[in-house]
Structure 1
């Protein structure tokens, strides 16, 4: 018997290492499947609850699952609340897309300015912008209402877009500044040697490099505007201008004290679809944008 045969490391051959790797892979996949089931189960349950048949759709969506063929009656009843569901969906799409686009443009310019230019009180201005995140939205809702009334934008979807954009800007400017900080300055210097200056530097050189940050900012702005309820409820008074969250509150309140749970689940399903589609399409750029500037 040799000394090397007594050493534990000598007995750890390629077969044992492969066995440990496979064990870790199996454990990782099992854990991932369990976590996925935990997160997907409520979503699947809500979607299925929207297809409950007949009077069973009026009952709270709790187990056991009732018998009966799936039906679209809940979606038909949802269509009967106020204007059509498509009308309220288009209101939400206008507000959310407008908020995302305006937030991207403003935060892109502000982030580029804070990252690449030097001006008096630059650090103070950036800190003040970030400090506004700590101000509760409910505390400034009344001044915002009066400001929109003075501007003639109260009870308009455009006014709601401006409010949502204002609320998204502090975080968005911070994200875009980090995205620009992650771009080496040598790239700009090389572009200047090639004769690129002024605004062309931003949209020809820098813009493709910070696209993940823009996607992250736009996705955050869209999701927050899509799901926001309080501002839309307070600032919009005409029923035909309501967004989907306000419509869902009316559906959940019910008529004559009764709640149509089937219509509620159908509305929740409709609200989930754009969010899921956008996130699945943009998830790679979203993750890259979140990590931009994290490593120098």
Structure 2
């Protein structure tokens, strides 16, 4: 009886969460009384072209995920394995960034990127996205490293391995679920974020998919082109859904071994 109730509840929640995506897909292919792919054709030719927006978004995702994984891995390793003065305070300050609503600091960041010559660039936007991801990412990676027995480090060091070799050869394979979790969160944030690209990017040929999809909702004389907008929603949601399904096993293990520890 308990198992049946569990499956019924899980199925109900699955339908609840999947229904909006199914509705968007239906609206995109049947805007009227007949089936049509015109909304996807308009999506492909909108503005600078769908290929430009997809390329911009993929570049942003690659830079954000790579930067987040690199910095969070090194920082998490340092926090988990190396005692140094002020380690606890620095870790708390890193987590404190989560309490700051990021839209409130986008304007100062815009000015800062101007000083660095990175205004209106995907590299500058990626740096901002990496900064927003680091508190959660460092927290996850620190706990993931702490879940690995220190005896593995000690055995490798006895054999003559240095700290970097221990990290690359011993610890990284053991914290793959944590890496996947951090990478997945960084991917979802950079793929779907709308506010940061809207403020930090001003050139049409550098817009990301979320900005383009929101802009394309306005059609002739201010009328909302719902079918094309829904086609954009479906196009954006499918990669996220597929990636999550593929990496679900690692994602769950990452939370179980990382976020629930410490």
Normalised by the length of structure 2, the TM-score is 0.95
Report what 1:270 is aligned to: 235
Show the counterpart of 2:184.
219
Output the CA distance in 2 between the equivalents of 1:139 and 1:96. Answer: 23
Between the aligned partners of 1:237 and 1:109, the Cα distance in structure 2 is: 33
> Could you say what the CA RMSD is over the residues aligned between the two structures, in angstroms?
1.4
Q: How big is the shift at 1:32?
A: 2.5
The CA distance in 2 between the partners of 1:153 and 1:198, in whole Å, is 34
CA offsets, 1:207-248, max 9 Å, x none? 000111011001001101111111101111110100011101
Q: Match for residue 287 of structure 1?
A: 252
1:196 and 1:161 map into 2 onto residues whose CA distance is: 34
1:194, distance to aligned residue in structure 2 (A)? 2.5
Question: For residue 156 of structure 2, what is the aligned residue in structure 1?
Answer: 191
1:97 matched residue in structure 2 = 62
* SS of alignment partner, residue 291 of structure 1: helix
Give the Cα separation in 2 of the matches to 1:146 and 1:41: 41
| Alignment match, 1:12 | none
User: TM-score, length-normalised on structure 1?
Assistant: 0.85
**Distance across 2 between alignment mates of 1:38 and 1:163:** 33
Task: Specify the alignment match of 1:41 in structure 2.
Answer: 19
Deviations 1:258-296 (A, max 9, x none): 111110110000000110111011111111111224258
Distance 1:257 1:34 in 2: 38
Q: 1:161 and 1:115 mapped to 2: Cα distance?
A: 26
Whole-angstrom CA distance in 1 between matches of 2:135 and 2:54? 27
How many residues align structurally? 261
Equivalent positions of 1:1-296 (< 5 A) are 23-53=1-31, 56=32, 67-68=33-34, 70-293=35-258, 294=260
Unaligned runs of 5+ in 2: none
Displacement of 1:79 in angstroms is 2.4
Please tell me whether Structure 1 or Structure 2 has the larger radius of gyration of its CA atoms.
1
Secondary structure at 1:196 match in 2: coil
For structure 1, list consecutive stretches of 5 or more residues without a partner in the other structure: 1-22, 57-66
Per-residue CA deviation, residues 33-63 of structure 1 (Å, 9 max, x unaligned), is 222222222211111111015xx2xxxxxxx
